[in-house]
Amino acid sequence: MKFTLAAIIGSLAFASAKLGSKNRELKAENVGAYHTDAFEALAEKYSYASQRPKSELDLMMDVSDILAGYCAESDSTCRSGAYKATLKQFHVGRTGKQFVIPENMDESVRKHLGKAFDVIDTINAENVNEKIELLQSIQNDISELQDVSAADQMIGVASVSVAQESAKYWTKAFSDKEHPFSGMLNRIGDTPVKSINEHDRRLQVSGSLTWQDFFPIDYSEVIAADTQGAIDYSIEAVNEKPNIVFNFSQLFLALLAGAFPASAAVAFNTTGLS
């Protein structure tokens, strides 16, 4: 039976009243929607000029504050984890460390996630709706797998959910001149990131300047950062604390904490903040 573990623990109340106030269930396939909620909260904050960040540190603090808002006020461990996740994911986003789907994940889940990344690599503003449909199909396939690790299955479904919501959100955010993030994002281009020499892309040009100040990014890079972040950080959380698989609310937060700051680190032109 699929999602046996999820069925047992999916009814757990999430620590945050912010999550609990949403009219959607706390399920793996809804992680992407909460990812969008987080960015909408950030956009609302930045709709006021006085609230816009003046440095990368300001942006990181705003991102981590929103993440921490999903924790109970009395849960200091959860809240400190939100800041830890933001710091880690911004660091990963700046170093350009190549992502590899963990080999210790269930083989069937890994195979489907590989397909998802193949789809992500081809997303652009014109084909985004078509690609989201393909990602939804892959998510459905993962949810229907039999005799696989329940934790890996949930992470797989949640990560592809994040990919779909990320594709919807960022293709609109980058194209909307009235969006609160307008003027704060890296340039978007039509050239797939993979076609640019890896050394040139990740070159630390001068001081805090990076390749993103000279080469435009593409949609797939931001969407991949979201998806990779969800997988990487949640797998790390499970490895550090195996019992987290029996507390879906904590695993849910790890997925969200991995994705939200990861794409922010790639999407925002932090050297241009002022």
Parse the chain into domains and list their residue ranges.
4-96+106-272
Per-residue pLDDT of the chain (274 residues; tens, 9 = 90+): 333 333 323 333 334 334 444 545 668 888 999 999 999 999 999 999 899 999 999 999 999 999 998 888 888 888 888 898 999 888 887 666 677 898 889 999 999 999 999 999 999 888 999 999 999 999 999 999 999 998 899 999 999 999 999 999 999 998 898 999 988 888 765 444 443 344 343 334 444 444 344 445 788 889 999 999 999 888 888 888 777 666 667 788 888 888 999 999 989 887 656 5
Contact assessment for residue 15 and residue 166, using Cβ atoms and an 8 Å cutoff: no
Cα-based distances in Å from 251 to 133, 190, 255: 26, 35, 6
The closest alpha carbon to 270, from 177, 183, 180, 176, belongs to: 183
* pTM, rounded to two decimals: 0.81
